[in-house]
Structure 1
Amino acid sequence: MTDITMIRAAAARLQGHARRTPLLSSPFLDEIAGRRVFIKPECLQHTGSFKYRGGRSAVSALDPDTRARGVIAFSSGNHAQGVALAAQQFGVPCVIIMPSDAPRLKIDNTSALGAEVVLYDRASEDRDAIGAALSSERGLTLIKPFDNADVIAGQGTTGLEIAEDATALGIETADVLVCCGGGGLTSGIALALEADAPGLRARPVEPEGFDDVARSLASGRIERNTRLSGSLCDAIITPQPGNLTFPIMARLCGPGLVVTEDEAMRAMAHAFQRLKLVAEPGGAVALAAALFHGPEIEGEAVIATISGGNVDAATFRDALGLLE
């Protein structure tokens, strides 16, 4: 089980490798939200998302002999690129299992980082079974996208930075809105905040129709999504919360928030217009909640992650067009 000691150890391993991203703000965004808004732009992280933190944390935690045999991961793109870059940096083989409907940019980028990409149909094939089979055949270590203690620890370093910067800004109480798929980032941030900024509360944010975490937190048990594809927010679509992440979120997180695709796209446009940040739809859901779901948020300030910026040009153009 991931704890704050593991997160601090991951931070030490990531020192000099992961980028420290700032907390950004804009008076224009404050006006829309009706409160102070601070943004943690993990779209500026290596490979364009927070996933590099968890990928590097997990790969670096392996013993050298195990790591030398190679790693395997499954992902719609951001975890894929994070693990692929980490594997490339250590000079070890890497296989990535990706859904065939993932954005072409993410598939191409993963290949460009030296990984072998294996595509599958996420509506009809079981990525876990594919990953288990390849791991067994080739002796590869499977690095799951969120249900892995060292991955959660790596993502938790985001929370250490939020806690330190919020303290420096005098923010003692606030909701910290986190773009949420399986819950690796959310649970990691929640653990870090519990230790270093207990007045800050992590809250998962998901796209409409794929709100398994929000429903799970409400019911107290793991709930599944009925659909596994068909959202612009592909980066954060998972079947259900993780077995490792859900207990952490259930203990530490506030209620989940759910936004529409249109709200996520408008948040993308505002992030670019006001802060010159490029966000992907799934990476913009937390900002969307901060901007457009004010009555559901507590406190005079809110902190929102932008978890990734790996968006294709056509989708980004569509988002910017919403402000014309």
Structure 2
Amino acid sequence: MRSLNILISGAGIAGPALAHWLVRYGHRVTVVERAPGPRPGGQAVDFKGATQLAVLRRMGLLEEVRAHQTGGTDTVMVDARGRERARIPAEFTGGDVEIVRGDLVRILHAATAPHCDYRFGDSLAALREEAGGVRAVFDSGAEHTFDLVVGADGIHSRTRALAFGPEERHVRYLGAHYAIATLPEDGPPLPAPAPAPGGPLVALMRSTPGRTAVYGGTSAMFVFAADPRPPGAPTTPTGGASWPPRSQTPPNPWQTWWSGRCAPTTCSSTPSAACRCPPTRAAASRCWATPRSATPWPGSAPAWP
């Protein structure tokens, strides 16, 4: 297989993970990211099972990921009076290895930066399929032709919009909002059960129909239901068609997620992601398989100007 010139849009988890494997298989990779640098923050990412640990090991990152693991957190479900009703052990919620997303981003970037061309502070503006590849136009005004373009830029992916059409055609809002917040360290203390000696930290969860809140240490998570219709909208859209069902996803979304030389990776850029938290840990596992099936196209592309 000849070496391909590949553009990846997005420098979160899936983008650098895919870049790692593409470079290992001899391809030239450019990663473009609209943020000025690797993005910190985000929730914890857990790796579960032999397959995901094997991927980290083959990437040469398992020990560094373990060195930055969180240690896990037991989640205690309480009622309105704060009484414990159930406990979810850290082994279930955190898997075999749990790491804060920002730390994982930093590790992946450090491992791939010497071998890839990272372009921070820029983003895709247009894609045009040509005989010799995909002509990519960037917000900065630069243009370049690539053999393959991969979108790894999240649920609101600009790459997907450019290759497959407007977001509303592909993303289904399923009636829930999800938020993570950092609590001030000098804020008022919140009641929480003390961890067992030598045991994991403890987080509290309170859940009622349509609302869930979880907090532990200096972070909190909120999930709440909301009507998918815009405020004041009629029961059905104009023309009598129904609003998208809250569980609607294509029967097989992978059948439609390829357009010429453009494709998305990471579950966050597929339709089904709108109904759950982005399963970041899957990105590394999925990207491991991608380069093995990369198909070369005719033509070559010059280096980025």
TM-score with structure 1 setting the length = 0.29
Q: Which has the higher contact order (CA 8 A, sep 6+)?
A: 2
More strand by share: 2
TM-score with structure 2 setting the length = 0.31
More helix by share: 1
